[in-house]
Amino acid sequence: MAATGAAAVAFACTRPPAPRPARPTPSPSREPAASTPTPAAVDLEPEAQRLRARILASLLSGPRPEEITSELRTDGRLRWQHRAYRVALPQGANVKVVTGKLVQAAEDADGVLVASRPEGTAQVLEFGLEHAGRVLPVLRIRLEPAAGQAAARVAVVLDDAGMHLAELDRALAIGRPVALAVLPGLPHSEELARRAAAAGLDVLVHLPMEPDDPHQAGRLGPLAVRVTMTDEEISEVVQQALRAVPGAVGVNNHMGSRATQDPRVLRAVLRVVREHRLFFLDSRTTPATAVEQVAREVGVPSLRRAVFLDNDPSPEAVRLQLRRLAEQALRDGHAVGIGHANRPHTAAVVAETAPELERMGVQFVRLRDLARAP
């Protein structure tokens, strides 16, 4: 037993030492990664400046542009200057004509009209430069009318008058120049026309003319222009309508989508209008109307309706259409809106909304004054 224990002790003393942990093998050194060069900026300012110069040069014979702001703009690698100018228009200058010159100059220089919008009494134009399929704004021009000069003129016409004398009261309550278009042959047509003219309103003969819809054509009444009539018959109808609406300064069509497409019919109507030294307002009940062309041929001053105010007679809709009328007038210089004397809210909404339109730079004028405008 003693021998066995000694052997065990000897064996324990002769065990090999535990292996040492292996040292990690150093990884081979790597070259640092080469840095990617930053792409160079693309300077578009020379092109932007050429475009601005071409557009502004169209104003050399007119008002001098005044620079308002200049700022550096970037888009990715692209860099250019955006500049804004104010242009004070002289008395009598037409915003539409000046805008047309600027837009034409931009197109000639391969530029783009990005936006055109009214701001108060001014019209603001934004022009851009095309680059790689994108349009970059480089120039803003603010056209400001002369002090005391409205940027735009609007005339409001109330159609279908003659059924009730209260239609005149509603028109007068607007407190601005309006025109009443009186249908001949209604119960109060003649008296309403006389009173309206005496009150200083423009009175129109709201002349019934044949529409495309046969059902509507059957409701026109006896004093109506139809395409099957001879020139002599048309002339007699128009003469009778004028006698039924005393004091009229002009004529506009009631319906008429078929008749106003027919040059022969229009010549017969407009010869009578010329004989009485009146003007003709095209209600534009069809986009195929020939009124403007024939009126020019016959030598009659003519106007065209821009906006129908109350196809939807709700107050909210009428208010929206009045704002559209103002925007069109600010863009084109003037615009005519047609509503109806016999609808319950139209005149009241015109009266309520007129101050808002005037703050936009719109002036309410007599329809006859637009007919005389060049």
Beta strands in the chain (DSSP E): 42-43, 66-75, 78-88, 111-119, 122-131, 134-144, 152-161, 178-182, 202-209, 250-255, 279-282, 302-304, 307-308, 334-340, 362-364
- Identify the band that residue 145 occupies on the pLDDT scale cut at 50, 70 and 90: confident
Half-sphere exposure at residue 223, Cβ-oriented, CA atoms within 13 angstroms? 19
CATH of domain 42-144: 3.30.460.10
Task: State the Cα–Cα distance between residues 126 and 284, nearest whole angstrom.
Answer: 32
Beta-carbon-side half-sphere exposure of residue 156 (alpha carbons within 13 Å): 32
d(CA 231, CA 264): 8
CB-neighbour burial class of residue 174 (10 A; exposed 0-12, middle 13-18, buried 19+): buried
Judge whether 290 and 283 are in contact, CB under 8 Å.
Answer: no
Q: What is the pLDDT of residue 340?
A: 98
Q: Confidence band (pLDDT; 50, 70, 90) for 20?
A: low
pLDDT tier for residue 218 given thresholds of 50, 70 and 90: confident
Mean pLDDT of the chain: 89
Can you tell me the distance from the alpha carbon of 324 to that of 311, in angstroms, rounded to the nearest whole number? Answer: 14
Q: Average pLDDT of 334-349?
A: 97
Domain boundaries, the chain: 42-144, 152-372
The mean-pLDDT minimum among 116-125, 134-143, 280-289 falls in: 116-125
* Partner residues linked to 135 by β-bridges: 130
Read off the DSSP letter of residue 205: E
Architecture of the domain whose range is 152-372? Alpha-Beta Barrel (3.20)
Tokens of 7: 């052997």
